[in-house]
Amino acid sequence: MTPSVNSTKPSFAGEIMNVLHAVDGNPITTCMQCGTCSGTCPAAGFMDHTPRRLIAMINAGLKERVMSSNTCWYCASCYQCTVRCPRGIDIAELMYGLKRYSIWRKQHPEGLIGPVFSETFVKTILRSGRSYEPVLATSYLFTYGVQDFIQEAFTATELMLKGRIPLLPPRIKRLENFKRMIRRIVPIADA
Ligand code: SF4
Ligand code: SF4
């Protein structure tokens, strides 16, 4: 008998868990809302929703509120929450998953450096196979004041003169193979 195709659209929590399919942690639906992750998070004070609350919001299907939250963009990837979660949920990877999801869906809060920087980073490495600081810097430098901008420009010039930053972006061999691989992971179509 031919197996039936399940065309049911996954729930928001299901979509997020699909993004985390390769992560070695328990599903976020096993969260018992103990708050250990929030209590241990050094960045919680900058987040509009703590990690614990964000997980509750995902499980409740509050997609719009989750996607407009700054929480994942303020995650410092310290992994303290992950090692302390009594339910074995990889919360740090969840934050990465949310970033990927919001970039793919082009749904992220305005005025944050993180989304712009992440997208610029992917586009930069797609062009040459390597990160190139002068291009990356343009994604966030203008959000600072004139004084910081001038200071950063001086620092970059010094680094270039000392040969720490190349004048032109370096290029890897077999770039096309690399691009194909990255596009499978990060489907930024116009990159
Ligand atoms: S530490 Fe784990 S179980 Fe506790 S609230 Fe955070 S994610 Fe849920
Ligand atoms: S990995 Fe992110 S969410 Fe977890 S404790 Fe560190 S900063 Fe907070």
Q: Convert the pLDDT of each residue in 130-165 to its tens digit.
A: 888 877 777 666 666 677 778 878 888 888 888 888
Q: Which residue has the higher pLDDT, 127 or 77?
A: 77
The reply to whether 74 and 38 lie within a common domain is yes
Q: Which residue has the higher pLDDT, 126 or 186?
A: 126
Find the 115 Cα to ligand 1 centroid distance in Å.
Answer: 25
The reply to whether 100 and 118 lie within a common domain is no
Q: Is residue 7 part of a domain?
A: no
Q: Are 81 and 45 in contact (CB under 8 A)?
A: no
Q: What is the CATH number of the domain that holds 38?
A: 1.10.1060.10
* Long-range CB pairs of 44-47, under 8 A, 24+ apart, other chains included: 46/70, 46/74, 47/71, 47/74
Residues with CB under 6 A from ligand 1: 31-37, 52, 55, 85-87, 89, 91
Q: Is residue 67 part of a domain?
A: yes
Rounded CA gap, 151 and 167, in Å? 19
Q: Is residue 1 part of a domain?
A: no
pLDDT at 3: 42
Q: Which residues of 60-74 are buried (b: 16+ CB within 10 A; e: fewer)?
A: eeebeebbebbbbbb
- Is the beta carbon of 51 within 6 A of some atom in ligand 2? yes
pLDDT at 124: 84
Rounded CA gap, 17 and 25, in Å? 10
Ligand nearest to the CA of 88: 1
Mean pLDDT score, 93-104:
91
Find the 40 Cα to ligand 1 centroid distance in Å.
Answer: 11
